[in-house]
Structure 1
Amino acid sequence: MLAINPQSSSRKLIPNLIPCSVKHSGPITIEQRHWNPQETHKPTAYLRGRKLQGKKVRLPSGYRGYVLEKTTEMLQPEATSADPRESRDEQGEERELQGDVHIMGVKAQFEEVMVWAHEVVPEDDDPYVRGIQDWINLADAVSSRAWTTLLESRADHT
């Protein structure tokens, strides 16, 4: 399981989704000659001689994106109690035992993503643009359903 430490960074950036596959997993020195997008009415960049055009995809109001980094920190388990009733949730059901919880550090935050495509500005049906929208819709559905379920369960107990 993962936990996020939101205090680790407040730096803001715009991540780039680039239509390419990089077969390298080590560090590199970034230079202006390798990646230097031009901000115009149609953002344009060149990567290894290939022209890319970009489109900013804004996250909806109330949403925030994070760039996370794995840390070696672990979330400390809550102190156990001798009272067996405290190992049950509000409905009296036993809580699921949770394994190790690794803490992820926040490297940066973002409110929009730049999606790039070869030669043309990405349209709304672009797989990356659609993928971002699908994740937002899924998150909204899950959190809305969870919130509704929580409110209903609390109303039943009053």
Structure 2
Amino acid sequence: MEEEKGTTGSINLSLNGKEEKINLSGQVHHLPFCIKFNGPCTVSQYFKPKLKGMEIDGLAVEEAHFRGRKLQGTTISLPNGYAGFVLAKNNSGKRKACDVSEGNSNDWEMKAKFDKLTYWNHDAPPSKDDPFLRSFHWFTVAEALHKQVKAEDLATIDAALA
């Protein structure tokens, strides 16, 4: 039986001498489709979201078109204590010989940061029931699961069960 080998890597979120971090808040978009292109493009010349002037479930609705398809979305803030990062592979620094020969780099560095993003739906306005927005409920669940339990909490539970 062959033993599986794990890989290790690192993510560097420091500024590395940069005076100001690049803030992409309001410029990050979660689109309901895949674009099979990885390179420079003048996106702002073609993709021009506009506020519709209406709110649904307390969300300001935006509208845009991509290749003739109507998109409706909203800009949301990430929960307090959370941030989004744009990462890129770090091609400098020490790497193992096997990583270099296989072309695998597991060292990443922060290129930009954001605390707001816009998510889009095809032909449907955004709502609190959208799966993307509902996934943010997991932040609350994770916080509750990892919250430190105090002796008073245990005593209260013991008294309630007795």
TM-score (norm 1): 0.61
Structure 1 outlier segments of 4+, above 6 Å: none
Structure 2, gaps ≥5 residues long = 1-8, 54-60, 96-104, 152-162
Letter in 2 for 1:35: F
RMSD: 3.1
Letter in 2 for 1:2: S
Alignment partner of 1:30 is 2:42: yes
Map 1:4-153 onto structure 2 (within 5 A): 4-8=12-16, 10-13=21-24, 14=26, 15-22=28-35, 24-41=36-53, 42-74=61-93, 102-134=106-138, 136-137=139-140, 139-141=142-144, 144-145=146-147, 148=148
- Structure 1 SS opposite 2:15: helix
Q: Tell me how far apart the structure 1 counterparts of residues 30 and 42 of structure 2 sit (CA, whole Å).
A: 17
After superposition, give the CA deviation of every residue in 1:14-49 in whole Å (9 maximum; x if it has no partner).
311111122x24314224443111244321110011
TM superposition shift of 1:119: 2.2
Q: Tell me how far apart the structure 2 counterparts of residues 63 and 115 of structure 1 sit (CA, whole Å).
A: 17
Q: Percent identity?
A: 25
Which protein, 1 or 2, shows the higher relative CO under an 8 Å CA cutoff with sep ≥ 6?
A: 1
Aligned residues: 122
